Amino acid sequence: MSFVKHLECSRCGKLFSHLQLQNLCTACRSPLLVRYRLDEIRRGLKKSALADRPTDMWRYIELMPVDDEEDIVTLGEGFTPLLPLHRLGASLNLSRLFVKDESLNPTGTFKARGLSAAVSLARKHGVKKLAIPSAGNAAGALAAYGAHAGLEVFIFMPEDAPAANVIEAHVTGAHVELVPGFINDAARVLEERKQQESWFDVSTLKEPFRIEGKKTMGYELSEQLHWKVPDVILYPAGVGTGLIGMWKAFAEMEELGWIGSKRPRMVVVQAQGCAPIVKAFEEKKDSAEPWPSPKTFAAGIRVPKALGDFLMLRILRESKGTAVAVSDVLILESIYEVGSREGLFFAPEGAACVVALKKLLQNGWITPSETVVLFNTGSGTKYLDLIEKAKG
Tens-place pLDDT, residues 308-330: 999 999 999 999 999 999 999 99
Question: In the chain, count of helices (H) and strands (E)?
Answer: 13, 13
Q: How confident is the model at residue 124 (pLDDT cuts 50, 70, 90)?
A: very high
Q: Is residue 163 part of a domain?
A: no
Q: How many domains does one find in the chain?
A: 1
Q: Is residue 243 part of a domain?
A: yes
User: Quick one: average pLDDT of 78-102?
Assistant: 98
Task: Give the span between the Cα atoms of 142 and 293, in whole angstroms.
Answer: 27
For residue range 211-270, list pLDDT tens digits in order: 999 999 999 999 999 999 999 999 999 999 999 999 999 999 999 999 999 999 999 999
For residue range 155-204, list pLDDT tens digits in order: 999 999 999 999 999 999 999 999 999 998 999 999 999 989 999 999 98
Please name every residue paired with 31 in a beta bridge, in sequence order, or none if there are none: none
Domain range enclosing 230: 82-108+209-391
Q: How confident is the model at residue 374 (pLDDT cuts 50, 70, 90)?
A: very high
Q: Is residue 370 part of a domain?
A: yes
Please name every residue paired with 246 in a beta bridge, in sequence order, or none if there are none: none
Q: Is residue 39 part of a domain?
A: no
pTM confidence score: 0.96
Q: Which of 269, 382, 370, 245 is nearest to 322 (CA)?
A: 269
Q: Is residue 263 part of a domain?
A: yes
The pLDDT value recorded for residue 135 is: 87
Q: Is residue 122 part of a domain?
A: no
Q: Is residue 351 part of a domain?
A: yes
User: Quick one: average pLDDT of 113-137?
Assistant: 96
Q: Is residue 148 part of a domain?
A: no
CA atoms within 13 A on the CB side of 113: 31
Domain with residue 223: its CATH number is 3.40.50.1100
- How many other C-beta atoms can be found within 10 angstroms of the C-beta atom of residue 358? 18
The pLDDT value recorded for residue 1 is: 77
Helix (H) or strand (E) holding 265: strand 265-271
